[in-house]
């Protein structure tokens, strides 16, 4: 990989920051209730207004193929046993709003489930039948059969958890990881046989160790990195377990929910919360260097297809909205600096407790265009930290549009410009300005009339907030003794 200087050319006063090659950072949402219901068109419109360009849509194999027996021609989307109408409407509404759909194939009809071990629940779909359905779906949405083209295809959801795939181990050996490797490879061939440039997303891993009893009996600390290494044929030392092993995909996705702030790291070595993403990227890079990954692009990407915090209000145990206005931009910066190229936030609109993570509290608020204050932080993320007699800053314009950006600092009752600069081709800007003031800083596009939330230069310590307000997932709480964790910016 060639190193490049990020395109942050100063018009007045900023210095460019050396970084790895510029990369995009698209944002979107996962919200089955809003996008799959009567509010779909409005939901996608509001998502676009929030700076989104890509949306994760669940396509339930079991719902599309709900008959009691398999289709006569499972690779043919026109087989009469398939029912696509609900997903058609969702895809049409997304594309009409200028959003690129990610089709996340989940679920399975009863006739496709198998039980690989005596006494285990039948939760393991047959990989060949899954790939046949993936082929039919890719054909339906190939852009030439009266439906929009879908380029992005995500394979399964959180396969490292017994909740979705049991058993994780068979006869004491990893089973789910090997099954998933087979599933991804067969599905990638099926999807790319329709369009060679279709983009396959693997992983979709959950952040915490699997608490399923059958998994705990074998490995009580079975986390997403262990599963990932199993899929990619790597040892804990990131050497090859099988030199001939290959897995075909274009991005690995993860759900780095955290029980603390944006830089919080997991207690267990194979768990991956938000602050652990560089370790996941290290595993991905090691597999790529060993030739274990086959991809269309120059290298496999790292995606985050599910992430959020509960907000207070409405959840009294959630993260205060005033703190989320800081943590959301910091989370986006942590992801981007870890190499993440896509984030889909869960959700756009709050559902009933415990899922109160949206940018709107209800469909009524969505219709009235009354978002939570955190929408601005999501739409125009911007962070700034004290550094070398001034500040280091990073941001992304809404929807990643090119723009001229002014970085301003609070001064009395107004704002004083520290300087202006141009974004790169992805709407990303970063750099440094000299300032002795410790007052908050913000970014403003001079040509698009958009402003970020003001960002305080004061350090905020890590704090415990259970995911979705539920019981904690980490085995121990160490928050009270943890100091503030510095941001991952590069000098």
pLDDT of 59 > 50? The answer is yes
Report how far apart, in Å, the C-alpha atoms of 250 and of each of 153, 162, 288, 320 are.
Answer: 10, 25, 11, 36
Two tokens, residue 311: 């907000």
pLDDT at 481 over 50: no
**Measured between alpha carbons, how far is 29 from 17 in angstroms, rounded to an integer?**
30
Is the model's pLDDT at 13 over the cut of 60? no
Q: Which residues contact 481 (CB under 8 A, 6 or more apart)?
A: none
pLDDT band at 6 (very low <50, low <70, confident <90, very high): very low
Region class of 303: left (phi > 0), else alpha (psi between -120 and 50), else beta: beta
Structure tokens at 275: 């602050």
- With bands split at pLDDT 50, 70 and 90, how would you rate the model's confidence at 473? confident
Closest among 53, 159, 32 to 100, alpha carbons compared: 53
What sign has the CA pseudo-torsion 354, 359, 365, 366?
Answer: negative
Sheet architecture: strand order including 428-434: 382-387, 390-396, 428-434
β partners of residue 394? 383, 430
User: Model confidence over 145-180: pLDDT tens digits?
Assistant: 899 999 999 999 999 999 899 899 998 999 999 999
DSSP string, 31-95: -HHHHTSTTHHHHHHHHHHTT--EEEEEEEHHHHT-SSS--SSTT-TT-TT---HHHHHHHHHHH
d(CA 269, CA 272): 8
- From the options 2.60.120.10, 3.40.50.720, 3.30.70.2740, 3.20.20.80, give the CATH code of 31-379: 3.20.20.80
Cβ 280 vs Cβ 272: under 8 Å: yes
Give residue 121's pLDDT: 60
- Helices vs. strands in the chain: H and E counts, helices first: 12, 25
Cα–Cα distance, 361 to 365 (Å, whole number):
6
Would you state the pLDDT for residue 476?
61
- Bridge partner list, 101: 55
CB 433 within 8 A of CB 443: no
Please compute the mean of the pLDDT values over residues 436-442 and round it to a whole number: 97
Q: Are strands 319-320 and 311-312 parallel, antiparallel or unpaired?
A: parallel
pLDDT bucket at 474, cuts 50 / 70 / 90? confident
**Residues 6+ away with beta carbon under 8 Å from 138:** 150, 153, 190, 191, 193, 194, 195, 198
Over 50: is that where the pLDDT of 51 sits? yes
Give the pLDDT confidence score for residue 388 in this predicted structure.
87
pLDDT of amino acid 320: 96
- Residue 205, H or E segment: strand 199-205
Q: Which residues of 419-449 are buried (b: 16+ CB within 10 A; e: fewer)?
A: bbbebbebbbbbbbbebeeeebbbbbbeebe
According to the model, what pLDDT value does residue 10 have? 37
Cα torsion angle, 143, 184, 278, 304, sign? positive
Two structure tokens written together for 372: 């939570």
pLDDT of residue 362 exceeding 50: yes
Distance of alpha carbon 165 from alpha carbon 125, whole angstroms: 9
The whole-model pTM stands at 0.93
Domain boundaries of the chain, sorted by first residue: 1-22+384-457, 31-379
pLDDT (mean) for 389-405? 96
Q: Are strands 26-29 and 340-345 parallel, antiparallel or unpaired?
A: parallel
Instruction: For the chain, give the mean pLDDT.
Output: 91
Q: What average pLDDT does the segment 133-139 reach?
A: 98
Quote the CA–CA distance of 337 and 278 in Å, as a whole number: 9
Distance CA 454, CA 132 (A): 50
Reply yes or no: is the peptide bond before residue 383 cis, omega within 30 of 0.
Answer: no
Give me the percent of the chain exceeding a pLDDT of 90. Answer: 83
User: The tokens 């002795």 sit on which residue?
Assistant: 436
State both tokens at 160.
Answer: 């490292």
Residue 346 has pLDDT above 70, yes or no: yes
- Whether the CB-CB separation of 41 and 89 falls below 8 Å is answered with no
pLDDT given at position 98: 98
Start-to-end CA span in the chain (Å): 20
Tokens (6 digits) for 332: 């986006």
Query: Are 374 and 73 within 8 A, CB to CB?
Result: no
State pLDDT tens for residues 103-125: 999 999 999 998 776 555 667 89
- Cα 342 to Cα 104: distance, rounded to the nearest angstrom: 14
Return the pLDDT at 41: 98
Rg of the chain over CA atoms, in angstroms? 23
Residue 195, judged by CB atoms within 10 A of its CB (0-12, 13-18, 19+), counts as: middle
At 442-457, the pLDDT tens digits run: 999 998 889 999 999 9
């Amino acid at each position: 990989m060639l190193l490049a200087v990020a395109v942050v050319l100063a018009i007045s006063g900023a210095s460019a920051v050396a970084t790895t090659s510029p990369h995009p950072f698209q944002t979107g949402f996962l919200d089955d209730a809003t996008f799959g219901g009567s509010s779909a068109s409005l939901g996608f419109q509001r998502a676009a207004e929030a700076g989104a360009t890509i949306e994760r849509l669940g396509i339930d194999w079991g719902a599309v193929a709900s008959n009691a027996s398999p289709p006569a021609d499972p690779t043919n989307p026109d087989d009469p046993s398939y029912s696509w109408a609900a997903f058609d409407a969702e895809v049409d509404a997304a594309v009409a709003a200028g959003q690129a759909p990610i089709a996340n194939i989940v679920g399975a009809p009863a006739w496709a489930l198998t039980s690989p071990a005596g006494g285990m629940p039948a939760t393991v779909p047959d990989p060949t039948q899954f790939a046949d359905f993936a082929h039919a779906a890719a054909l339906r949405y190939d852009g030439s059969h009266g439906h929009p083209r879908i380029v992005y295809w995500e394979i399964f959801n959180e396969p490292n958890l017994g909740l979705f795939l049991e058993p994780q181990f068979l006869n004491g050996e990893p089973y789910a990881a090997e099954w998933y490797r087979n599933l991804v490879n067969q599905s990638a061939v099926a999807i790319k046989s329709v369009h060679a440039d279709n983009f396959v997303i693997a992983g979709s891993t959950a952040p915490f160790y699997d608490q399923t009893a059958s998994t705990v009996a074998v490995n009580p600390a079975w986390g997403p990195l262990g599963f990932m290494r199993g899929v990619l044929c790597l040892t804990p030392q990131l050497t090859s377990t099988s030199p001939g092993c290959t897995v075909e995909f274009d991005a690995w996705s993860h759900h780095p929910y955290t029980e603390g702030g944006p830089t919080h790291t997991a207690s267990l070595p194979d768990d991956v919360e938000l602050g652990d993403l560089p370790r996941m990227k290290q595993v991905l890079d090691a597999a790529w260097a060993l030739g274990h990954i086959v991809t269309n692009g120059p290298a496999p990407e790292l995606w985050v297809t599910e992430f959020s915090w509960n907000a207070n209000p409405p959840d009294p145990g959630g993260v205060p909205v005033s703190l989320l206005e800081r943590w959301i931009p910091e989370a986006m910066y942590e992801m981007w600096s870890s190499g993440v190229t896509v984030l889909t936030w869960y959700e756009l609109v709050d559902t009933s407790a415990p899922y109160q993570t949206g940018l709107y509290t209800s469909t009524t608020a969505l219709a009235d265009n009354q978002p939570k204050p955190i929408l601005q932080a999501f739409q125009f993320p911007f962070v700034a930290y004290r550094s070398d007699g001034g500040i280091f800053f990073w941001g992304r314009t809404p929807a990643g549009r090119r723009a001229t950006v002014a970085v301003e600092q609070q001064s009395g009752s107004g704002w004083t410009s520290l300087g202006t600069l141009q974004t790169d081709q992805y709407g990303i800007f970063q750099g440094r300005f000299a300032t002795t003031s410790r007052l908050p800083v913000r970014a403003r596009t001079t040509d698009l009339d958009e402003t970020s939330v003001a960002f305080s230069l004061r350090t905020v310590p890590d704090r415990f907030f259970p995911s979705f307000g539920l019981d904690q997932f980490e085995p121990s709480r160490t928050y009270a003794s943890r100091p503030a964790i510095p941001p991952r910016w590069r000098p």
